């Protein structure tokens, strides 16, 4: 008897959250979930522009990425990865606890997830601060006093003094970059071909290998840092928004708003947090590991 009563109450609770234009709570939940997935796809597309810029510049100037990537602090990136992975676990558990109607478990897991988000922001903020002190910044503000391993910076002009030879036919891309080892770089010129050697206005790609002295600084290293700050900055903004949303969830969970019949916000923000996690899982190797 008591069980029936409690189900009745929960049913009322669900009805209370039912907007007038939906027929059933299930329809409303499905609509919310589809809407969230669509929104998350737009988030991925927002980042996709930056991933695309990364790919284009990496293909055009691999030497910049190879050189500048060494400046980044891999251990702190790894730390952040572990923090975010753990917070992803606690968020998934939070959704589960909400489904089961276990309020304390939900509150604890949300709290742990918030801690994870704040920890990530703290560690990342410290990294930004270190970079700022080293003047590892974007555009004209890129002006570090030493190279990635503490060595003196070879003047940019040294590039011109290096031996430049064309790539052997049929060799190109990453395979050849690997074959060259640490000192060699491929430089791809997309200069417009002279009118005599091709149809006017059509670019003919010319690929050359460049032998560099170890750690010599290539031109336009600042491009790497522009992309680094854009990608991690946009991601950190999303982490911050996630922390704010979860604080709101925590408040509502503490108040006892959620039940097995109504936990839509927890579920949707759980999805959001999953995407934020996932994007970092791509950012970390691309920026910190792949030199």
The least distance separating other proteins from the CB of residue 111, rounded to whole angstroms, comes to 29
> Please, which residue, 97 or 225, has the CB nearer to other proteins?
225
DSSP string, 250-276: HHHHHHT--BTTB-HHHHHHHHHHHHH
Q: What is the Cα–Cα distance from 119 to 52, expressed in whole angstroms? A: 29
The least distance separating other proteins from the CB of residue 49, rounded to whole angstroms, comes to 4
The least distance separating other proteins from the CB of residue 135, rounded to whole angstroms, comes to 14
Q: If DSSP codes are grouped into helix, strand and coil, which group holds residue 20?
A: coil
Structure tokens at 290: 């792949």
b/e map 152-183, b = 16+ CB within 10 Å: ebbeeeebeebeeeebeeeeeeeebbeebeee
Contact 81, 237 (CB under 8 A): no
Contact 268, 32 (CB under 8 A): yes
Contact 289, 74 (CB under 8 A): yes
The least distance separating other proteins from the CB of residue 139, rounded to whole angstroms, comes to 4
> Please, which residue, 138 or 254, has the CB nearer to other proteins?
138
Q: If DSSP codes are grouped into helix, strand and coil, which group holds residue 187?
A: strand
The least distance separating other proteins from the CB of residue 196, rounded to whole angstroms, comes to 16
Q: Which residues bind other proteins (CB under 8 A)?
A: 19-22, 27, 30-31, 34-35, 38-39, 41-43, 45-50, 52-53, 56-57, 60-61, 138-141, 190, 192, 199, 201-203, 205, 219-220, 222-223, 226-227, 229-230, 234
Contact 218, 156 (CB under 8 A): yes
Sheet holding 184-189, edge to edge: 164-166, 206-211, 184-189
The least distance separating other proteins from the CB of residue 289, rounded to whole angstroms, comes to 23
Widest pairwise Cα distance in the chain: 93
> Please, which residue, 100 or 203, has the CB nearer to other proteins?
203
> Please, which residue, 16 or 20, has the CB nearer to other proteins?
20
The least distance separating other proteins from the CB of residue 271, rounded to whole angstroms, comes to 14
> Please, which residue, 7 or 203, has the CB nearer to other proteins?
203
Q: What is the Cα–Cα distance from 280 to 80, expressed in whole angstroms? A: 9
> Please, which residue, 18 or 108, has the CB nearer to other proteins?
18
> Please, which residue, 58 or 83, has the CB nearer to other proteins?
58
């Amino acid at each position: 008897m008591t069980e029936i009563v409690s189900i009745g109450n929960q049913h009322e609770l669900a009805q209370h959250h039912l907007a007038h234009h939906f027929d059933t709570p299930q329809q409303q939940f499905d609509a919310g979930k589809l809407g969230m997935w669509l929104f998350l796809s737009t988030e991925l597309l927002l980042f996709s522009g930056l991933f695309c810029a990364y790919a284009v510049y990496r293909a055009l100037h691999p030497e910049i990425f190879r050189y500048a990537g060494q400046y980044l602090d891999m251990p702190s990136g790894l730390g952040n990865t572990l923090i975010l992975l753990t917070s992803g676990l606690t968020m998934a558990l939070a959704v589960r606890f909400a489904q089961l109607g276990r309020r304390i478990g939900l509150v604890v897991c949300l709290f742990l997830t918030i801690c994870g988000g704040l920890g990530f922001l703290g560690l990342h903020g410290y990294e930004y601060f270190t970079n700022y002190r080293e003047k590892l910044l974007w555009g004209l503000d890129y002006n570090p006093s030493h190279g990635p391993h503490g060595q003196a910076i070879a003047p940019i002009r040294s590039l011109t003094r290096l031996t430049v030879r064309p790539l052997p036919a049929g060799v190109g891309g990453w395979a050849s970059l690997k074959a060259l080892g640490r000192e060699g770089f491929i430089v791809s010129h997309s200069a417009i071909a002279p009118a005599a050697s091709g149809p006017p206005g059509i670019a003919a790609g010319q690929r050359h290998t460049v032998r560099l002295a170890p750690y010599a600084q290539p031109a336009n290293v600042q491009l790497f840092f522009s992309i680094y700050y854009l990608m991690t900055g946009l991601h950190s903004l999303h982490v911050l928004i996630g922390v704010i949303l979860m604080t709101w969830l925590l408040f509502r969970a503490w108040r006892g708003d959620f039940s097995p019949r109504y936990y839509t916000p927890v579920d949707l923000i759980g999805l959001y947090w999953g995407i934020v996690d996932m994007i970092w899982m791509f950012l970390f190797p691309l920026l910190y590991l792949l030199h």
